[in-house]
């Protein structure tokens, strides 16, 4: 089972990816995790990724493609995988499909005003990476980490102006990607993936049910 999960920042891709990966016993490959790992390693590439992410821009295709393809070569991907948030552009998709067959492309659709509310409410404990939300998952004591009591922060990429910029860029670049998958042409025998669009303005359980129903039909 080889799956791609698409959706704007804040659409709930990470949550659904974890549930799907557990269901089908395949690794969840998140470009966000890959990029954060590169940043934490403090390599020249990681420092470049950090600067791009904090400015609200998208990481260039060539960097993301390189990181993802290296990940797909690992042994745990032999029986399948779930790509969380990749590809994000047609160029990335074409690079992927040159040598990789995909079974399903699942697109989680959420209205922009809901995305802004979800993302701007995030608060993070930087030392551990634990995240909260002022509405949906607040800490026991406002603005304090539940474990350490240390202050929580709103990351730069979770501030409203940065979010709007991220969403605008995402929509501009990924609308052609949606059209690409809806009119996908086989590439030298690589079969066409099934494109499934799911309403993401619902409960986690309902979204998950609708995804599994789309896969099984």
Residue keyed to tokens 């509310």: 117
Q: Which of 217, 215, 206 has its CA nearest to residue 15?
A: 206
Q: Which member of 2, 88, 118, 123 is catalytic?
A: 88
Q: Which member of 2, 71, 118, 166 is catalytic?
A: 166
Q: Which helix (H) or strand (E) holds 139?
A: none
Q: Which pairs with CB-CB distance under 8 Å and at least 24 residues apart come from 182-188?
A: 187/97, 187/98
Q: Which of 130, 115, 100 has its CA nearest to residue 7?
A: 115
Give all strands (DSSP E) within the chain, no chain letters. 2-7, 28-30, 81-84, 104-109, 122-124, 131-133, 194-199
Q: Which member of 2, 71, 118, 122 is catalytic?
A: 122
Q: Which member of 2, 13, 71, 118 is catalytic?
A: 13
Q: Which member of 36, 130, 155, 165 is catalytic?
A: 155
178 is catalytic: no
Helix, strand, coil share (%) of the chain residues, nearest 5: 50, 15, 35
118 is catalytic: no
- Contact criterion met (CB below 8 Å) for 2 and 102: yes
130 is catalytic: no
Give the sign of the dihedral formed by CA 14, CA 19, CA 22, CA 25: negative
88 is catalytic: yes
2 is catalytic: no
Give the active site residues: 13, 88, 122, 155, 166
């Amino acid at each position: 089972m080889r799956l791609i999960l698409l959706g704007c920042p804040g659409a709930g891709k990470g949550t659904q990816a974890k549930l799907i990966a557990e269901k089908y016993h395949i690794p969840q490959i998140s470009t966000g995790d890959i990029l954060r790992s590169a940043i934490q390693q403090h390599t020249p590439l990681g420092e470049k990724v950090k600067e791009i992410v904090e400015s609200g821009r998208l990481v260039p295709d060539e960097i993301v493609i390189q990181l993802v393809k290296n990940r797909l070569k690992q042994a745990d991907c032999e029986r399948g995988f779930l790509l969380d948030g990749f590809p994000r552009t047609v160029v990335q998709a074409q690079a992927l499909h040159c040598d990789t067959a995909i079974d399903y492309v699942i697109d989680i659709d959420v209205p922009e005003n809901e995305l802004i509310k979800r993302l701007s409410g995030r608060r993070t404990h930087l030392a551990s990476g634990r995240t909260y939300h002022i509405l949906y998952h607040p800490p026991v004591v406002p603005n304090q980490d539940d474990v350490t009591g240390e202050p929580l922060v709103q990351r730069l990429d979770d501030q409203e102006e940065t979010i709007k910029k991220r969403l605008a860029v995402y929509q501009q670049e990924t609308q052609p990607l949606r059209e690409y998958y809806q009119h996908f042409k086989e590439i030298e025998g690589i079969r066409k993936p099934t494109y499934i669009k799911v309403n993401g303005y619902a409960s986690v359980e309902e979204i998950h049910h609708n995804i599994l129903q789309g896969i099984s039909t």
